[in-house]
Amino acid sequence: MKIFLVEDDFALAKLVKEAIEKYNFEVFPSTNFQALDQEFLEVQPDLVLMDINLPYFDGFYWTKQIRQHTNVPIIFLSARDSPMDQVMAVEYGGDDYLVKPFANEVLIAKIKSQLRRAYGEYAANKERTLARQGLAYYPERLEVHYQNQKELLTKKEGELLELLLESAPKLVPREILLMKIWDDARFVDDNTLSVNMGRLRKKLEDLGLPTNIITTVRGKGYLLDWGEA
């Protein structure tokens, strides 16, 4: 399930994103606070987490704009704890309200509750899919599919592909790849990363993808090359 996170405190947004992703949700933090409605339409999320105090226009305004397109669940996350703010959140189309600071467990419980209400009992446990240009990766199964064929990945190969797909067509720095897979990049050399990336590249080639689908940028990192960079 996809979650659109509207929060202009980027440090807090990073913490919230990391907490939610542990429960297998895809999180898309907002980046353009002048056109959040357009970002929303691009992401097509299953749920929105909305701050109130935002640059240009507040969360009430943007909730009203979103409600012109959809009834997707919207949970307000705000340091404003007055009853009037909570009433306004409901009046503008919000479904729930959580006052900062909050426990991550409470936030996850509210997210799952709203997803069940909106989409059914098992929606919160819906399997994730990362897809691009006909290539689909299923992290829970460690399976990658392309043109009616599939390959089973190792855990490390899967984590590498997930990072590449999430960033494509942008480059993923080698340090990010190393820290994601092995926690501390200081204890892993480039050869270890190269070997795992080579195995992943071979499996993608076996599916019929181009031999240069994973491009190495020497000394910097790797990227998925769909001819868009």
The pLDDT tens digits for 151-199 are 988 888 888 999 999 888 889 998 888 877 665 444 455 677 888 899 9
* Residues 2-125, CATH architecture: 3-Layer(aba) Sandwich (3.40)
Q: What is the Cα–Cα distance from 132 to 111, expressed in whole angstroms?
A: 26
Average pLDDT over residues 9-37: 88
* pLDDT tens readout for residues 117-129: 877 765 555 567 8
The answer to whether 45 and 2 have CB atoms below 8 angstroms apart is yes
Q: Which residues contact 103 (CB under 8 A, 6 or more apart)?
A: none
Tell me, what's the pLDDT at 185? 43
CA-wise closest residue to 45 among 68, 29, 65: 29
What pLDDT does residue 41 have?
A: 85
Query: pTM of this prediction?
Result: 0.54
Question: Would 2-125 and 130-224 be classified into the same CATH topology?
Answer: no
Domain map (residue ranges) of the chain: 2-125, 130-224
Q: Retrieve residue 84's tokens.
A: 């009037």
- 55: DSSP letter: S
Question: How much is the pLDDT for 187?
Answer: 46
- Both tokens of 160, joined, read 């590498």
Residues making up the chain, counted from first to last:
229
CATH class name, domain 130-224: mainly alpha
What does each C-alpha distance from 2 to 138, 178, 193 come to in angstroms? 15, 26, 29
Q: Give the residue-averaged pLDDT of 219-229.
A: 78
